[in-house]
Structure 1
Amino acid sequence: MKPIILYLSLILSLSSCIGYRFLPKGEKLLVKDPKIIGLSSNQEKEIVNFVTQRANKRLAALLPISHLANIYELGALRYDTTLYHEKMQSLNAKNNLEMIKTNNNRKIIRITKKVNKKIDKTNIQLTQGNYFMRLGEPLAVYDKEKHIESIDKIMRYLFSKGYFNATINLTEKIINKKIKISYETKLWNQFLIDSIKYDINDNSIKMLLEKNEEVSFLIKGMPYDEQKINKERARIYNVLSDNGYYKFDKKFITFDLDTTIAKRNGLWVTVKISSPAQQDHHNKYTVTAVNFYSSKNTGYKKKNKLIEQQEVVFDKNSDGFNKKILNRTISIKPNKLYSKSEMLLTQQRLNLLKTFKFININYDTIGQNNLIAQIFSSPMDKYQTSNEIGFLQDDFSQVLPGPFVNLGIKKRNAFGNFELAELNLNFSLLGISNIDSRNQAYSLFEYGGRLSFTFHHFLFPLSSNFTKKINSLNPRTRLSFYYNYEDRTKEYERNQIFTDFSYLWSQNKKKQFIFTPFGVNYTEIRQINPSFQTFLNTQDTLGNRSLSAAFKPSLTTLTSFEAILNQNNYGNLSTHSSLLRFLTESGGLYVNAFENLLPYSNFTLFQWLKFNVDFRAHMISKKGQIAFKINLGAAYAYGDAQALPYERRFYAGGSNSIRAWPVRRLGPGAYGEMSSMKHTFAEDEVTQINYQREQGGDFIIETSLEYRNKLTTSLNYAFFADIGNIWLLNGNQSIKDYEGDDGIFRFDSFYKELALGIGLGLRYDFSFMVLRLDGAIQVVDPAQPLGQRYVLNQLLSQNEVFRNKSNINIGIGLPF
């Protein structure tokens, strides 16, 4: 009861600071956003951006206080422009004095640069205010003119949607120094398109549009919408631009609206396409030649020649490039009608070769109806190096980020056929918990490298016709070689060598596909700590073969398919976006071949099937952002090993998973190792769970929901809830906890074993990265006895239990 009284006292004390004491005399404070009356919820969402003045933001529902306004006004109390003007004069005078004292040009440049930096900083303080003013927002002092301007914008918007007779009245409700306003809207009837007519003198254009009339954005009986009018104008322009009308312009397309002829609330739309001045028709243009120019020759030394008849004319600087591939990539062809789509497609395909900095396509007119396509390219440097130094946090890390160094070099057009050769080296010291202990920080030291070759076609005997058909999918073949050394303190050292052969293709940025018909991984165990080996032996006797087999020499083959569907560039936080990733893989398909090749080897040969679906969405509303994730996966091990490779198992818990549980420590199922401490209360008993050992599984259900919003310009906050768990599918494992739970997935009880955690997060946006701090507590703990798994009430009353059932996560980047 006492915390509640303190909380209410804090609310009452802070609510008096909402900003009235900063309010100028005679002014009113806008305490709520304008209320829009008479519109549906969807219409309100459409017009909310037209409101020029809003009330000051509040700290969600935690406190009735306009935190940003108070920050701004507290900064304004100490803000004096006179001081900054004097500082500017002082800096200029000091700069002039230093210039007089020295004749050294280098020193002059250094002093000027230093002083200019200070002047720029002072100028920002003059124009935008001090740090606290920039961090906050000005007090929302009611300005009637701004709301009249908002109403005018909304009226224009409603008119564009067919509400030609709509009216909006501004009403004010004043209570002392506060004011609330509303926009009372009357829409009346929306005008509908009653008839669509075409006024086109050019018969060729008229026939062309009639063929495409079924895909028109204007339909008889639909409500008038200016946005649809603009889309129809763009559609007509695109149709004509793709059928030879090179000089056609959107200005020739007009729409006449008539409300007097049709019935009440009806509208006649006349689509009119006018002809150029002093002409009765528009000319069609044919491409007679295609020329390709390169600004410099950075291609392969061996000269490439076209064996087939040359469709594209290349300059001498293009000799180092494979002209057959260029000819196939360029979709603009001679003796074809001009097409804007083909021009854009050519630009896109040439850019996907990852060889040119930019592609510029121009057309020269020859005579009345002919064009010459001029393609100008600027190749990138043949060699490119990169380096990156910073701090990295592993996906399953639970401690502070560790340092890393990445070095890379690229060679473009490596063998004269637009191949891309890449070599990357990496070194890192990561903070990650040990497999059987959470007490060892910075325990993972890694170094390794990757050599890859990307070919801009499928390395497979395909017919030339089929190759042309799939060229629009940007087909590529990638051959990669990896080496990785891993040293986990007090556990093990191992080497891994991996190679794969993959086909990649994409229809556009929204859809990407990767098919790997063959991959092979060799793992060599260099050293195992005796105590860790004892731990592995114990796990082996319990049936936990995946963990024990992961630290034996192994040879693994892999076949996989991955599809990624990305809507609106997921990760862009300014729009609605989503990402769907589907992965299916099979390991050990070629295991018999290796057994025959290496009959006396002691390699562990894994065989498994796995699938994984990961969906993520980001939605924006006027009250904040909603982010959602669901991750489903299953893996089945078969063959002699009867185990999954360590990296192919599923794990739950940690900064990018179920955040109320330590990294990789949740599950499987209701399984939980009891700690030596047990706390008994008057009615309930909460078991302290030992989270020292990693827990892997064969099946995962994981979902997260986040509400995100801004505290200040750079600091954001989030409320989140995470639900999920992992389970075992292999019934041969004999692990059981203090209650006899074995972690096996069962359809009739799995929903009782879902873990639930909630929390609050802070995210600071440095523009180049986001630093994240998430605090989470357990609400439902499946490791507790059935009937006692709701633990939130005990967490809030007992500190020792709270420490065991809460978790702090530090991360780089958003969790999803």
Structure 2
Amino acid sequence: MLKDKPGTGRKTAIYILPLILLLILSAGCSVTKVVPEGEALFWGYDVKVKGEKDSSKRSADLEAELSQTVRPEPNASILGLRPKLAIYNAFYTEKEKGIKHWIMTKFGEPPVLFSELDTGSVSQIMSSRLHNRGYFNNTVGSTTTIENKKATVNWTARVGEPYRIRKIEYTLNDSLPVQRDIEQTRDETLLKPGDPYDLATLTAERVRIDGVLKNEGYYFFSPELLIYSTDTTVGDRKVDVLLRIKKAATAKALQPYKMDDIFIFANYSLGDSLATNDTIDYKGYHYIPNENYVKAKHLLRGVFLEQDSLYTREEHLLTNKRLSAYSAYKFVTIDYEVDTVKNNALDAFIYLTPALKKSLRAEAQMVSKSNGFAGPGLNLAFRNKNAFKGSELLSLEFSGTFENYVGGRGTGEAPEGVEEAGNPNLTSFELSAKASLSIPRILSPFEIRNLRTEFAPQTRIGAGFSFLNRVGFFSMNSYSATYGYNYRPTQTVTIDVTPINLQYVRLSNVTPDFTKYLVDNPFLRRSFENQFIIGSIYQLTYSTQVYENRTNQFFDQVTLDLSGNSLNAFQSVTGFPPPTDDAPRTIAGSRFSQYILLDNDFRHYFNFGKESQLVTRLVTGAGFAYGNSNTLPYVKQFSVGGPNSIRAFRARSIGPGSYIDTTSTFSFFDQVGDIRLVGNIEYRFPIVGFFKGAVFVDAGNIWTFDKREQAVDDNRDGGEFDPKNFLNQLAVGTGFGLRVDVEFFVLRLDVGIPVRLPYPPVEKQNALKNFNGSFSGENSMVLNIAIGYPF
């Protein structure tokens, strides 16, 4: 008789238990439990389009479109199960109060009865949809099957060859300017001879023409003023389309308008008198009431309406979006009225409602960092949305955290005299202050023309200081200053340029234990040296996530980080001796870093079904130190593991390469590298209400740049990047997650399960083979608790 190995039953239970609970919930109660006698549950439906003689080959698209007309829809299902209906049945009660009623109504869904479905009306709607797509002769019928109080409906639509457009004519009178302007849009028409007749295309053509006219001054024109006549008697399933303007169109709608007076109410609130007393006339604009809130010269950079210019919707939308981006304002409204003197001119009224100017926020939180420290924190933030009367956003932030080291368990014994990880005395506290100023315009030494984009360019200025005390090891002071620009030329592209990026890191109060560790690890010692980072950062982001209804969405962010090049070149030109490892070039007595770092974060979102999404991500990066440096600064080196990386491994617990740390306390310090490669695949799906689920696979590692560096002073064996062997050093993990998504807040719990370990020996790299099924010990699961989605 075969017997399971010890522990096998426990591991099996871990996998099987959630499935059993789901099956009990979904199938243990009859789905027809609360269906009345004589009724049936609307269980499902199918729609088929039969068009053997249809050369357009649109059956699949038509079936999808017709399926959307079925109302009501059956109860929501996931993988053939109906969890919301099962919850409703399991907690069904006729009482209108109590926990059962709350669960039933909050998370459940009442059964959709077949009697609620009018198959005849749905068939008529389907037939009308087919008629609108050019199938003027079609038939739609349905059959219903009822078994075990479950009703299934099958609809069948039969179509032939669709009617196609033979020609398009404009029945216009050239005596009116609007007729000539419409005629000039013919080249961009959406109606093409030979295309199937499609009512949606005809409607879109009216909207297109209206959009063109709106940018030609026709403020009062609308798509409804255009009407089609169709002739289907020409034979051979052809149709002639004629377009004309309704006779009822008013003269006001058929003439273009120019802009006349433009009034700007810069401090408007509901109930204000619209009297124009105390008006400032500035560059042809009437600025009301004065400049005590936002100065006119700054605000007018967001106004693209000009006196005596032709009215255009493009200028209207551009003005509205640019002013809406100003932090000083909460609401922006633009109205137009026909000028009282000039019948062909419009007066514009721009109403700007101020936002709350100043705010103070205090926030207590639980901090969890990628280096394994966690603990309570306190943040204070002050914001002024109009600091200097130019809609500048001034932010002052102060924070303090007290943390214990709770992550990153070592694999060996700690060095003599060093505390074990997990010791309650291994603590850290950090104090920081940061000031930032965001200005909705470009500030530069030379004049730059006002950019005609929907999104106001930003100038960003920042300064900060932080003090980190890792009790028993070291203290670190960090100073920073930045000056940069943010520019978004289109909805999908963002350019972030930081020409001035200054950082200074100073290590102090180093204990003997940590000093000894740095002596034994020269690579890490150089990373912790007092040093300046003086350089620039350039970032380009492309994202189509603004188009929410797209099946495929892309995100790609490329970051180039440079440091020390200009300063090193200046010192070379001015006669400084060449830098060496023992005598590097310095500024104010401290070495400055010189490196180049390139990082890329690419993501693809495939959206299907209701709220279901398959997300893939590939993160690659490499940093190379040269000239005045032989290692990257510690704060610039890569690490992997943790809640936003490879979730089956604790933060900073992987790599570099096949290296494995033999200490328990300092493992999180030197598991960093110059090269990073991380890939993720995650399937996200709805469960019930605001509960979402996910299953994922993560893989990746970090490496040092070359063997030369490793051979000289890096004792992390196996850490160098080998193009022939790096795939064998990837750490792989899988797992599942639960997310509480309430739109403005996402709480994420991910359970990671290690699949493959990156370090030798080979026989122990298969983590699943020795998986212990718990959250402690070797080859254990990792629970990640975080805010927001991982990517």
The answer as to whether partners of 1:34 and 1:181 remain within 8 angstroms in 2 is: yes
1:80 pairs with 2:95: yes
Alignment partner of 1:137 out of 109, 114, 117:
109
Identity %: 24
Deviation at 1:516, TM superposition (A): 1.0
CA distance in 1, matches of 2:549, 2:368: 23
Question: 2:521 maps to what in 1?
Answer: 539
Deviation at 1:774, TM superposition (A): 1.0
The answer as to whether partners of 1:197 and 1:271 remain within 8 angstroms in 2 is: yes
Question: 2:416 maps to what in 1?
Answer: none
Deviation at 1:42, TM superposition (A): 4.9
1:165 pairs with 2:137: yes
Deviation at 1:282, TM superposition (A): 1.7
**Which amino acid in structure 2 is aligned with residue 407 of structure 1?**
A
Question: 1:233 maps to what in 2?
Answer: 206
Question: 1:683 maps to what in 2?
Answer: none
**Which amino acid in structure 2 is aligned with residue 645 of structure 1?**
P
Question: 1:528 maps to what in 2?
Answer: 510
1:410 pairs with 2:384: yes
CA distance in 2, matches of 1:279, 1:409: 51
The answer as to whether partners of 2:268 and 2:351 remain within 8 angstroms in 1 is: no
3-state SS in 2 of match to 1:516: strand
Deviation at 1:557, TM superposition (A): 0.8
Distance 1:782 1:371, change over 3 A: same
Alignment partner of 1:551 out of 528, 541, 546:
528
**Which amino acid in structure 1 is aligned with residue 345 of structure 2?**
N
Question: 2:477 maps to what in 1?
Answer: 495
Deviation at 1:56, TM superposition (A): 4.0
3-state SS in 2 of match to 1:552: coil
Once the two structures are superposed, the pairs formed by residues 17-96 of structure 1 within 5 Å of their partners are: 17-32=29-44, 34=46, 36=48, 41-58=60-77, 60=79, 66-76=82-92, 78-81=93-96
Question: 2:606 maps to what in 1?
Answer: 619
Distance 1:341 1:275, change over 3 A: farther
The answer as to whether partners of 1:79 and 1:130 remain within 8 angstroms in 2 is: no
Q: Which range is displaced more, 424-433 or 208-217?
A: 424-433
**Which amino acid in structure 1 is aligned with residue 225 of structure 2?**
F
CA distance in 2, matches of 1:750, 1:667: 11
The answer as to whether partners of 2:137 and 2:159 remain within 8 angstroms in 1 is: yes
CA distance in 1, matches of 2:404, 2:500: 33
Question: 2:783 maps to what in 1?
Answer: 808
1:604 pairs with 2:576: no
Alignment partner of 2:467 out of 477, 485, 495:
485
The answer as to whether partners of 1:275 and 1:282 remain within 8 angstroms in 2 is: no
The answer as to whether partners of 1:360 and 1:376 remain within 8 angstroms in 2 is: yes
Question: 2:363 maps to what in 1?
Answer: 389
CA distance in 2, matches of 1:815, 1:626: 13
CA distance in 2, matches of 1:457, 1:661: 44
Partner deviation per Cα, 1:473-509 (whole Å, 9 max, x = no partner): 6333222111122233443321111001102211244
3-state SS in 2 of match to 1:732: helix
3-state SS in 1 of match to 2:525: helix
Question: 2:617 maps to what in 1?
Answer: 629
Deviation at 1:521, TM superposition (A): 0.5
Question: 1:458 maps to what in 2?
Answer: 442
**Which amino acid in structure 1 is aligned with residue 779 of structure 2?**
N
- Greater percentage in helix: 1
**Which amino acid in structure 2 is aligned with residue 518 of structure 1?**
I
Partner deviation per Cα, 1:753-784 (whole Å, 9 max, x = no partner): 23321111111234542221111212232224
Deviation at 1:47, TM superposition (A): 4.8
Question: 1:253 maps to what in 2?
Answer: 226
Question: 2:556 maps to what in 1?
Answer: 580
Distance 1:24 1:795, change over 3 A: same
Partner deviation per Cα, 1:547-594 (whole Å, 9 max, x = no partner): 323432211112111122232438x79986443222111111243358
3-state SS in 2 of match to 1:811: strand
**Which amino acid in structure 1 is aligned with residue 233 of structure 2?**
T
**Which amino acid in structure 1 is aligned with residue 84 of structure 2?**
L
Deviation at 1:54, TM superposition (A): 4.4
CA distance in 1, matches of 2:162, 2:599: 48
> Alpha carbon RMSD of aligned pairs, Å?
3.9
CA distance in 2, matches of 1:573, 1:400: 38
CA distance in 2, matches of 1:347, 1:493: 50
The answer for unaligned runs of 5 or more in structure 2 is: 51-57, 270-277, 411-420, 577-584
The answer as to whether partners of 1:399 and 1:810 remain within 8 angstroms in 2 is: no
1:700 pairs with 2:700: no
Once the two structures are superposed, the pairs formed by residues 391-790 of structure 1 within 5 Å of their partners are: 391-394=365-368, 396=370, 402-410=376-384, 412-414=386-388, 416-429=389-402, 439=422, 443-463=427-447, 467-468=449-450, 474-540=456-522, 545=523, 547-569=524-546, 577-592=553-568, 601-622=588-609, 624-673=612-661, 695-734=671-710, 742-786=718-762, 789-790=765-766
3-state SS in 1 of match to 2:219: coil
Once the two structures are superposed, the pairs formed by residues 114-129 of structure 1 within 5 Å of their partners are: 129=101
**Which amino acid in structure 1 is aligned with residue 440 of structure 2?**
H
Question: 1:300 maps to what in 2?
Answer: none
CA distance in 2, matches of 1:653, 1:426: 26
CA distance in 2, matches of 1:221, 1:482: 65
**Which amino acid in structure 1 is aligned with residue 136 of structure 2?**
F
The answer as to whether partners of 2:754 and 2:779 remain within 8 angstroms in 1 is: no
The answer as to whether partners of 2:682 and 2:695 remain within 8 angstroms in 1 is: yes
The answer as to whether partners of 1:705 and 1:722 remain within 8 angstroms in 2 is: yes
Alignment partner of 1:334 out of 284, 307, 313:
307
Deviation at 1:22, TM superposition (A): 4.1
The answer as to whether partners of 1:436 and 1:693 remain within 8 angstroms in 2 is: no
The answer for unaligned runs of 5 or more in structure 1 is: 85-121, 298-302, 677-689
CA distance in 2, matches of 1:10, 1:494: 51
CA distance in 2, matches of 1:431, 1:268: 78
3-state SS in 2 of match to 1:389: strand
**Which amino acid in structure 2 is aligned with residue 563 of structure 1?**
L
What TM-score, normalized by structure 1, do the two folds share? 0.80
Distance 1:6 1:566, change over 3 A: closer
3-state SS in 2 of match to 1:453: strand
Distance 1:215 1:724, change over 3 A: farther
The answer as to whether partners of 1:483 and 1:498 remain within 8 angstroms in 2 is: yes
3-state SS in 2 of match to 1:222: coil
What TM-score, normalized by structure 2, do the two folds share? 0.83
Question: 2:154 maps to what in 1?
Answer: 182
3-state SS in 2 of match to 1:251: helix
3-state SS in 2 of match to 1:558: strand
Question: 1:681 maps to what in 2?
Answer: none
The answer as to whether partners of 1:630 and 1:702 remain within 8 angstroms in 2 is: yes
Deviation at 1:713, TM superposition (A): 0.8
Distance 1:670 1:162, change over 3 A: farther
Deviation at 1:717, TM superposition (A): 1.4
Distance 1:482 1:159, change over 3 A: farther
The answer as to whether partners of 1:757 and 1:778 remain within 8 angstroms in 2 is: yes
Deviation at 1:786, TM superposition (A): 4.8
**Which amino acid in structure 2 is aligned with residue 406 of structure 1?**
L
The answer as to whether partners of 1:568 and 1:578 remain within 8 angstroms in 2 is: yes
**Which amino acid in structure 1 is aligned with residue 104 of structure 2?**
F
The answer as to whether partners of 1:409 and 1:422 remain within 8 angstroms in 2 is: yes
CA distance in 2, matches of 1:73, 1:21: 6
1:221 pairs with 2:203: no
Partner deviation per Cα, 1:312-356 (whole Å, 9 max, x = no partner): 122342366433334443211111112122122122222233222
Distance 1:150 1:762, change over 3 A: farther
1:377 pairs with 2:352: yes
Partner deviation per Cα, 1:269-321 (whole Å, 9 max, x = no partner): 22222355575982221222222223369xxxxx9988xx8221223423664
CA distance in 1, matches of 2:459, 2:23: 66
